């Protein structure tokens, strides 16, 4: 069998962090262990029935058996614009300010290739979603990381970025509610962001994957609610989390028309849009006001409270996330993120995501998900307690 050498591009790409994490967990399951997986980012609830029914109906429509319009169905783009008007008071032109995506990840990886040339600089949050790096590498661009530190509520401190970097940066990624830290952003932060992007002509890409998931009565803020935001960037909204549609691979980008046009042009050469029946189901999801999302957020908040109480109860002093379905936990002194994650997997059969997989400033933390039921979360805490690493106050 002949071996064909992969391209330099493929050899440059970072290791797919989530794939390797899933392989480790799968190996333990295959060996017969009862694994509690707190490391995944895959929603565990089914897609609401009315969305499934919309897909079933649409899949029988012969019109959907043909190629979809290259740039997505107008009806879906109008539903996305209506969703933003209803949820955030943001007015969008469906034709020029909405692009249909094959899931949020695809849009995030495409964007550097749409807007950047080799050697140009992208500002990347650290810790952050690892696929931001992938798109930058594919564009042969360069990364300048923005540390997300606890002392700054896990928001980037723009004053710490050298002026020469700001002057030459072309693109900036942000993500709130944040993966992996669970932090939230406020209007004042986004106002600073718009000012910075205007001053330095930086396209801002806000990854709003967890936009529906805020706790303690606080609804997450959309970047596009900020005056001037459409002048300097876009927001990417996936249906994966809000509607438990992770496997459906459908999302949209909203905002600056020049960026939307660049995405559409790139996708014209890559795809012939998302399967029409999936677009019709996505439209049904975005138009619906039945309150299924509110129930989902209540479930995640209950799980968050269970996690915080159970882990604090065994002596692990953790902070409650403000949004997303993740918590960001400090590892005990004397361990690296990878070492402690490995110990929890080997000795407690609990999967966590080591923080160093999200960047240099993720070292010293673990990411855990709220994607299993409360009894399993409490059991995970009990198993960890038996390791004798943490000491309770009593």
Per-residue pLDDT tens over the stretch 331-350: 999 999 999 999 999 999 99
Residue 26 has pLDDT above 90, yes or no: no
> Considering the chain, what percentage of its residues have pLDDT values greater than 70?
99
Q: Kindly report which listed range (40-44, 147-151, 384-388) carries the lowest average pLDDT score.
A: 40-44
Confidence of residue 394 (pLDDT cuts 50, 70, 90): low
Residue 12 has pLDDT above 90, yes or no: no
What value, to the nearest 5°, has the Cα angle with vertex 246 and ends 243 and 247?
125
Q: Which of 315, 319, 254 is nearest to 286 (CA)?
A: 254
Confidence of residue 204 (pLDDT cuts 50, 70, 90): very high
User: What pLDDT is recorded for position 14?
Assistant: 79
Confidence of residue 31 (pLDDT cuts 50, 70, 90): confident
Quickly list H helices, the chain.
8-12, 17-30, 49-59, 74-88, 104-115, 131-138, 163-168, 187-200, 229-232, 239-242, 257-270, 276-287, 292-313, 337-348, 374-385
Q: Which of 167, 146, 169 is nearest to 158 (CA)?
A: 146
Furthest-apart CA atoms within the chain: distance in Å: 67
Tokens for 30, please give them: 């295959």
User: What pLDDT is recorded for position 251?
Assistant: 97
User: What pLDDT is recorded for position 391?
Assistant: 77
User: What pLDDT is recorded for position 393?
Assistant: 56
Average pLDDT over residues 238-260: 97
Class at the top of the CATH hierarchy for domain 49-287: alpha beta
351-378 pLDDT, tens digit each? 999 999 999 999 999 999 999 999 999 9
260 versus 40: the higher-pLDDT residue is 260
User: What pLDDT is recorded for position 94?
Assistant: 98
Coil, strand or helix: which one is 304? Answer: helix
Confidence of residue 213 (pLDDT cuts 50, 70, 90): very high
User: What pLDDT is recorded for position 2?
Assistant: 86
Mean pLDDT value across the chain: 94
User: What pLDDT is recorded for position 177?
Assistant: 98
CATH number of 8-47+292-385: 3.90.1150.10
Give the domain ranges of the chain: 8-47+292-385, 49-287
The model's pTM is: 0.95
> Considering the chain, what percentage of its residues have pLDDT values greater than 90?
87
Confidence of residue 171 (pLDDT cuts 50, 70, 90): very high
Average pLDDT over residues 136-143: 96
Confidence of residue 13 (pLDDT cuts 50, 70, 90): confident
User: What pLDDT is recorded for position 292?
Assistant: 80
User: What pLDDT is recorded for position 379?
Assistant: 97
Average pLDDT over residues 130-141: 94
**C-beta atoms surrounding 123 within 10 Å:** 25
């Amino acid at each position: 069998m002949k071996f064909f050498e992969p391209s330099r591009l493929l050899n440059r790409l970072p290791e797919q962090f989530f794939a390797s994490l899933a392989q480790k967990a799968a190996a333990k399951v295959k060996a017969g262990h009862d694994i509690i997986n707190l490391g995944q980012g895959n929603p565990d609830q089914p897609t609401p029935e009315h969305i499934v029914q919309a897909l079933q109906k649409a899949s029988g429509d012969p019109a959907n058996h043909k190629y979809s319009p290259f740039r997505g169905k107008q009806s879906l783009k109008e539903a996305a614009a209506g969703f933003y008007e209803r949820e955030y008071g943001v007015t969008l032109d469906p034709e020029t300010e909405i692009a249909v995506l094959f899931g949020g990840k695809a849009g995030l990886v495409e964007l550097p290739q749409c807007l950047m040339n080799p050697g140009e600089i992208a500002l990347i949050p650290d810790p952050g979603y690892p696929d931001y790096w992938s798109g930058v590498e594919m564009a042969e661009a360069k990364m300048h990381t923005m540390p997300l530190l606890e002392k700054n509520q896990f928001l980037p401190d723009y004053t710490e970025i050298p002026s020469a970097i700001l002057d030459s940066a072309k693109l900036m990624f942000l993500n709130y509610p944040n993966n992996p830290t669970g932090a939230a952003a406020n209007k004042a932060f986004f106002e600073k962001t718009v000012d910075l992007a205007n001053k330095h002509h930086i396209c801002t890409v806000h990854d709003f994957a967890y936009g529906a998931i805020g706790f303690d009565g606080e609804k997450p803020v959309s970047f596009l609610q900020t005056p001037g935001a459409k002048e300097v960037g876009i927001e990417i909204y996936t249906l994966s989390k809000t509607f438990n549609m992770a496997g459906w691979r459908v999302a949209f980008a909203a905002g600056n028309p020049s960026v939307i046009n660049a995405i559409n042009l790139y996708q014209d050469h890559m795809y012939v849009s998302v399967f029409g029946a999936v677009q019709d189901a996505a439209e049904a999801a975005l138009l619906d006001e039945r309150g299924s999302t509110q129930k989902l957020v209540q479930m995640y908040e209950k799980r968050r409270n269970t996690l915080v109480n159970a882990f604090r109860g065994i002596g692990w002093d953790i902070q409650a996330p403000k949004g997303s379905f993740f918590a960001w936990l400090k590892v005990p002194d004397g361990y690296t993120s990878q070492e402690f994650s490995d110990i929890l997997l080997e000795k407690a059969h609990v999967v966590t995501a080591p923080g160093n997989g999200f960047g240099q400033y993720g070292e010293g933390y673990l990411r855990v998900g709220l994607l299993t039921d409360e009894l399993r979360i409490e059991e995970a805490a009990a198993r960890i307690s038996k390791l004798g690493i943490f000491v309770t106050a009593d």
